[in-house]
Structures are given as structure tokens and as C-alpha cells.
Chain A
Amino acid sequence: MKRLLKGGRVVDPVNGIDGVQDVLIDGDRIARVGRDLPADGAEIVELRPELVVCPGFIDMHVHLREPGQEHKETVATGAAAAVAGGFTAVACMPNTSPVNDNANVTAYILGKAAEAGLARVYPIGAVSRGSKGELMADIAELRQAGCVAITDDGRPVSTALLLRRAMEYAGMFGMPVIEHCEDPSLKGDAVAHEGYQAAALGLRGMPGACEALGVERGVLLSELTGSAFHVAHMSARASLRAVRKGKEAGIAVTCEVAPHHFTLTDEALAAPVAYDTNTKMNPPLREAADRDAMLAGIADGTVDVIATDHAPHHYDEKQVEFDRAPFGIIGLETAVSLSLDRLVHAGRIRLPRLVELLSVNPARILRLPGGTLAAGAPADLTVLAPELKVRVEAAAMRSRSKNTPFDGWELRGGVAATIVGGRTLYVNSAVAGLKL
């Protein structure tokens, strides 16, 4: 079955396209992109010119919680949240229970993803068995089973030696090591960013240097091993500096920033709701200078990827004292609106750069199909409605958990539709006249 999307603005940076063009989908593949393509028997879908057709967005950092913590999220509910948030694919972290450190767990996750039939799910395997930081996991087996990267996310790889060996070993398959950068001794039992807000609220703080030490370590080892090193959820300005210097030196380092880290600062811990546990995540919301550095890094190209670190937690788990609450917030269903509002409409970047951050670069780093509308590529498309007025409603989200600090926020820009493998899996009813 063929479908011809006509009249939308196509933004496909890999192929240098930014303009009103038609996209011809043949089955689960892109057949052609060009001006005024002939219908040639295809079903015609008329798009209004303010809608933007992009290669499908990929969130390379989500926690789907299955197996083991299905009360927070499942592969199916997470994949549903993904398509509702404009993501055609997600890469899920291995800190499930049991940890995804062997082919059985990987296969289980992939089976659940196939059953759900929504966003594509790419598992990420553990660096070490049980993510305990002692012995390497069976990395080749994980790779064969379908893992696209390795990480001990939730914690840093325990020692420089293990990180070095993991990089060397995973480098054999061209798999990046993704690192939760943090010096554990400097973190201690901190629950917030070390600064005025933590001091005023009486919360134990971790400084930006705690993260940057981990970044520096990884950059040095990437230089030593020649293997790809990816910094997860970067938040501190000193980390950005380390990544920038590494890139200038030609080291294979990449990094991602989460929407909450380019949107919020640690002031959110004090107001509007003091000690709101939905402002507690690791790395923590940092001070304005750090947030501004993330925005600058996104604008100047140092930051490669926007990833959500989607971390669902049950209401009960968050309805506790701040220092006892788990770290993390959900992000799949707010990332695109926050990015459009805070980055594009704020004039910091233009749409092609946004597509690089959300689609092209994650596909490149994880070596995934996608990130392009070239003929033969998977028909994974994210259609944006950049002018749509969006009101964030946690209760209406597809994710099983509702732990977001953005509930009630009004943002400019949203998702119009999400197409995965040629199938339309999400259509936003708030976008007028959209028939997909």
C-alpha cells in the first residue's frame, strides 16, 4: 500500500531538505521525497503547510521498567507513551529486574515490544553482570540478541579499569559505551545540586564536578581505547566543557541533554511547590549557569542528542519525604513540546537542528536505521505541529506513571502524528483537519 503525504514542510537534514515537499511511503519504507510527486495509485494525504514532516524521532535514553517493575511502566505502556510523544523508536536502559545483562532478558524485552507493535524498542545491555561493576556482561551475546549499546546506567561503571575494558571490548562491535557520569564519593548521599537552593532547603548537594569527573574519565579512556563514549543525561557546565575539549581533540565522545535540564533549574525545588519530588532526579536540576550552558551547547552543536531519561515511578513512591523519594521523572510525552517551545520558538535553534538532535544523531550514535527520509529508509515519521498550543496534562498521559514536574504547563508546539514502519500509530486530535 502506498501513501503520499502532500503539502507539509519536510525537514530531512541528512538529505539537505527543508521545504514543502511530498513524501511517498511504500509499505514500511520511504519510496521517494520530492516536489509534486505523482499520486501513481497512492492514497493521498493532504497536510497543511504549517505541519512539519521529519524522520522519526528516537529517544535513546528511556527506562521501560519491564521486566520487574511493571507497576511503574511496561514495554507496552512505554512504547505507547513514546508514539504519543512523537518518538518512533526508543532505546531502553538495562536497569530492570533482572538487569538486562544477558540474551534472555534482551529477548524478553524485544518480545514485549513486538507484542505491543508501537514504537521500535532497542534494548541497551549492561556493561557488567547485574550492573554490579565487577565482571563484564556477555557483551557479544547481548549484541547478537539485539542490544545497541552498553551501560550500567543508574550508576557509573565502577572502575576506570572496567570502563576501559568495556570500551575496548564493545569497540570490537562498534557499540558505544553510554555512561552515567558521576564520581560516587563526591556524590555521597546527595539528593540535589550543590548550590544555594540545596543549602536553603537543607538538602545534601552534589556539585557539577561530581558529574564532570565522570565525563573527564570517559573522554580520557575513549582517547586511550579509540572507542565511542556517550555521555548520558549531561547537566553540568563543566561536563560540557570536557565534551567540547574532547571533540576538539578528535576523541569519539558524544553527549545527550534531557529536556528538564535545558528547561528547569534548581529553583524548581523551592517553588511553586517546595520539595516537589517530581523535581528530584539524578543528575539533579542545576543552577542557571548550568542550564544556560546546556542551551548554549545545544545551539553551538556540542550537544549531539536530546534524550529524555524517561524514568517512571509510581505515585506512592514519589509521595514521600524528598530525600527518600526515588530519582527521576517521565519525559516521553513532554520532550517534543519542551524542545519546540524552549529551543525553536525561543530562537536558539532552527527546526533542522532539532531534527538532528532528536533523530539524525541518535540514529548515527546507536547505528540504527532511521534518522533519514532517503529512499529505502524505514517509513518512520514524526509530524510536528509547531504552532499547536499544548497544555501538559499528566493524568491524560499514556505512560503508566505520571511523575512529571510539567503538569499544567502551557507550551507552544506539539506532535501531530507518529508513523512507524508506514503505520500511523498516533494522531493528535487537537490538530485540526488531520487525516492520516
Chain B
Amino acid sequence: MSAPVTTAVDEARAATALRRKDLLGIADLAPDEIALVLDTAEAMKEVGERPIKKVPALRGKTVVNLFFEPSTRTRTSFEIAEKRLSADTLNIAVASSSVVKGETLADTALNLEAMHPDTIVLRHSSSGACHLLSRICRSAIINAGDGMHEHPTQALLDAFTIRERKKRLAGLKVAIVGDLLHSRVLRSNIHLLTKMGSDVWVCGPPTLIPADIARFGVRATSRIDEAVADADVIMLLRVQLERMEGAFFPSLREYFNVFGMTEARLRLAHPDVIIMHPGPMNRGVEIASEVADGPYSVILEQVANGVAVRMAVLYLLSGGAGDEAAA
């Protein structure tokens, strides 16, 4: 069964499909699947620019946004994406769920599953929570961020934004700076950008660099000047104040002095550099306000593109290509 879709979307569809029931992470996506999502997102972006921002692609489909962690940007972005595709959406936040009564994640999922949703979008503080759901649910699971593991739609929207600006991903020098250890955005971006041929540098204090980082196919350094030199893209990662319980660096002031993205450091990069941040930003910690609000910043474009990319993912997993939904 294929859902009715717009011409624009039909034209944008590549010959391939997402060869999976779920989107758990970028690590297991093939480059052509990534390209398919990005291509599809271009068509979806056009939908968002129309006066009537709605297509019937997911009409009659039920999407549950199951969020066990506070999130404004990601949840809103998914919800708008779902509504533009005409899905019936339902938001469950942790405070209003039965989880506070001691129900396990597995039981919560099975109870939701009993009501036959087509897709569950999950945000959870435990790495691998989506994998657990994926094993026990027939619904498509979309990972909206699991612990320190992955945040695949963020990496896809980042790639979409880079591609839109730079017309390519291959061969670009991308410097990712910040709290590498705790960042799911980092992991998804590393997987995506290395698969697509970018030259990825990561930079942060040694206390926040994950073990064996070289095996991810990236260059790691604690010298920010080296990381940003001639960079086409600089991506700042949030210093997760809420996870700094273990004193990973002496002070926020010192962090900004050593690793903060300032206008002076920006001058080391390629003249056409773009500055990205997945948000929410700590101004004056990982990024100076002049940089965040300056001409190189594409931070708000990332947010805008998030809707189109999530429309593409929702569409490809639950209504578009593939035949899982027909089973």
C-alpha cells in the first residue's frame, strides 16, 4: 500500500528506499539511504514554503511522540512535521505518563503498542532505549535522542543544512567543538559525515574526548586553532551543564577562554565558513554571542530544516518507500 503523496515528493524519491523498520541511529544507515532522506527533505521543505503547508502523505497514520526528557525544539519540530504530513499525533511527556507510577519502559511501550500507533518517536535519557522498543514493538521507532548514543534526525538536519549551503558533504573540513563525551549529536554527526566523505575534526578538553575516538575515523585534538583552521563548517556542541557533575574542566570562564568560539578564532577558518549549533546554546560558554548572531551563523536555518528532514524520515519510514507498513 502506498500513501497518496504530492508530485514534488514523488519526483524527489530516489530509486532506493530506507531498508529498515526503524531509525535508531546513523551508524547503521548506508550512504544512499542518507542521500535519500536528504533528497526527500528537499521536497518536504518546499511543502513548508506553501501557503497551505499540508500534504496527505500520513493521513490516517498515528504518530506518538514519547518524550522521557524535556525537549522543546525537537518535540515541536517533530510535531510540526507530523501535522504537515496529516498524521494524527499524540504527545506523551514523562510527567503526565504512568512512568511516575513505576511502570517499565517496556510496559509503557507495549501498552501504547496495543493501541496500534504506526510510529513512535522516542526521546529517552538511556542509551539504547530505542533498541529496546524496537525489539518489542511493531511500530516504526524513530530515535529523537537516546542518552549519549545518537540523535539521528539532528545529524540529518545538520547535513541537510551543510549541503544546502555548500552543495556537497564530501571533502569538506568539519570541525566539531565542545563536550564530545556526552554528546549524542556528536556521535550521529561523526557517523553521517564520515560516511559521506567529509574530513571530520573533533575538539574538546581531553577529559571530554571519548575513548578510542580515532576508530570513528575522525581527527581529535585539544588545540582549537588546529581544529578550526581552514574549516568549511564549525559545529559547536553544547557544554551540558547538567552533566558536568564530575568536574571535567575547572570553570565555564576557563572553558570559554580555551574552547569558546570567538570572532578571533573564526578568522582562522575558511572565508565561507558556516557556524552551526544544535541548541540550546550557552552563550558565552561554547560560543560568543557575536558569533552566534553573526553573518556566518546558520543556527536558525538548522531549526527550520529540522521540520523538513523529520517530514522526510516520517514519510520514508511509515508511508513512503518500503513495505513494512503494509504488513
A residues sitting closer than 8 Å to B (CB atoms) are 188, 194-196, 198-205, 207, 273-275, 316, 319-324
Contact = CB atoms under 8 A, between A and B. Distances in A.
A269 to B, nearest CB: 9
Interface stretch (B10-18, B111-119, B143-151): B143-151
A324 B215 contact: no
Given A200-B187, A202-B149, A275-B127, A319 B106 contact: yes
Nearest to B180: A199
Interface in B139-173: 146-150
B128 A201 contact: yes
Interface string B111-134: 000000000000010111101100
Nearest to B104: A320
7 contacts: A195-B211, A196-B216, A200-B27, A203-B148, A319-B104, A320-B132, A322-B127
B216 A200 contact: yes
B210 interface: yes
A199 B124 CA distance: 18
A202 B187 contact: yes
Contacts of A202: 127-128, 146-150, 184, 187
Q: What are the 3 tightest A-B residue pairs by CB atom distance, in nearest-first order?
A: A202-B149, A275-B128, A202-B148
Contact of A323 (B127, B187, B210, B216): B127
B42 to A, nearest CB: 30
A196 B131 CA distance: 19
B105 interface: yes
A275 B143 CA distance: 15
Contacts of A194: 211
A204 B131 CA distance: 17
A320 B129 CA distance: 8
A184 to B, nearest CB: 13
Contacts of B104: 316, 319-320
A274 B131 contact: yes
Contacts of A273: 135
Contacts of B213: 199
A275 B132 contact: yes
Interface string B195-217: 00000000000000011110110
A223 to B, nearest CB: 32
Nearest to A185: B246
Contacts of A275: 127-128, 131-132
Contacts of B146: 202
Given A202-B147, A203-B149, A320-B106, 7 more contacts: A199-B213, A202-B128, A205-B211, A207-B211, A274-B128, A322-B128, A323-B126
Contact of A321 (B24, B128, B184, B187): B128
Nearest to B132: A321
A201 B127 contact: yes
Interface of B: 24, 27, 104-106, 124, 126-129, 131-132, 135, 146-150, 184, 187, 210-213, 215-216, 246
A15 B43 CA distance: 80
Contact of B126 (A196, A198, A205, A321): A321
A10 B147 CA distance: 54
B210 A199 contact: yes
A322 B126 contact: yes
Nearest to B212: A196
A275 B215 CA distance: 20
B127 to A, nearest CB: 4
A195 B212 CA distance: 6
Nearest to A270: B27
A198 to B, nearest CB: 7
Contacts of A198: 210-211
Given A202-B148, A320-B106, A321-B105, A196 B215 contact: yes
A222 B83 CA distance: 68
A1 B216 CA distance: 66
Contacts of A321: 105, 124, 126, 128-129, 132
A275 B131 CA distance: 7
A316 B105 CA distance: 11
Contacts of A319: 104, 106, 132
B127 A196 contact: no
A204 B126 CA distance: 11
A201 B149 contact: yes
A128 B213 CA distance: 41
A232 B120 CA distance: 43
B237 to A, nearest CB: 14
B107 to A, nearest CB: 9
B213 to A, nearest CB: 7
Contacts of B149: 201-203
A273 B148 CA distance: 18
Contacts of B187: 199-200, 202
Interface core residue of B104, B211, B246 (most chain A CB under 10 Å): B211
Given A275-B127, A322-B127, A196 B211 contact: yes
A325 B77 CA distance: 32
Nearest to B129: A321
Contacts of B106: 319-320
Contacts of A324: 126
Contacts of A207: 211
Contacts of B135: 273
Contacts of A274: 24, 128, 131
Nearest to B148: A202
A205 B212 CA distance: 12
Contact of B105 (A199, A200, A203, A320): A320
Contacts of B24: 274
Interface core residue of A200, A273, A320, A322 (most chain B CB under 10 Å): A200
A326 B146 CA distance: 19
A266 to B, nearest CB: 11
A198 B187 CA distance: 12
Nearest to A317: B104
Contact of B127 (A195, A203, A316): A203
Contacts of B124: 321
A274 B28 CA distance: 12
A347 to B, nearest CB: 30
Interface core residue of B124, B147, B187 (most chain A CB under 10 Å): B147
Given A188-B246, A199-B210, A323 B132 contact: no
B120 to A, nearest CB: 15
A155 to B, nearest CB: 20
Nearest to A321: B126
Contacts of B132: 275, 319-321
Contact of B147 (A199, A205, A323): A323
A213 to B, nearest CB: 17
A203 B187 CA distance: 12
